Homo-oligomer: A and B are copies of this chain.
Amino acid sequence: MEVQGLSWMGVRVSDLEATRSFFEKLGLEHRHSEGEMIAFGAKNGDTVEAFGPGDEDHRHFDSGPVVGFEVDDVEAARRELESAGVEFTGAIERGGGMRWAHFRGPDGILFELTGRD
């Protein structure tokens, strides 16, 4: 497998409105909000997402910001990493034209495999 680049970042926050204001100061474009999730886009298409305190889907984001490593084939990359002993925290998920899976790195730090669907 080969990482194409860093294309996603997701982070749990205590205050979604303050977070929206902060990322807009950076010039990130607000793409959409859904429940306790806000998504922003950078100029090159990279994505930044924030999850509020009520979000149930990212409780495992327990090591700070989670970086998504973009790969061409999430399934193949996952198989390769699992064969090498890397621990994934759940199934491959799909949505919005993307697929992704989360895994633990050194010191249990959480990362993501990110791919196009």
Q: Interface on A for B, CB 8 Å cutoff?
A: 1-9, 11, 13-15, 18-19, 22, 25-28, 42-46, 48, 50, 63-67, 69, 80-81, 84, 86, 105-107, 109
- A42 B3 Cβ-Cβ under 8 A: yes
* Bound form: Cα–Cα A13–B105 in Å: 10
Residue contact B86 to A25, C-beta cutoff 8 Å: yes
Closest CB pairs A-B (n = 10): A64-B64, A5-B44, A2-B27, A5-B46, A19-B106, A6-B6, A3-B42, A13-B106, A6-B46, A5-B42
- Which of the residues B2, B18, B26, B44 comes within 8 Å of A81, measured between beta carbons? B26
- Tell me the minimal C-beta distance from A65 to chain B in angstroms: 5
For the complex formed, measure the closest distance between the CB of A94 and the CB atoms of chain B, giving whole angstroms: 21
A107 to chain B, nearest CB (A): 6
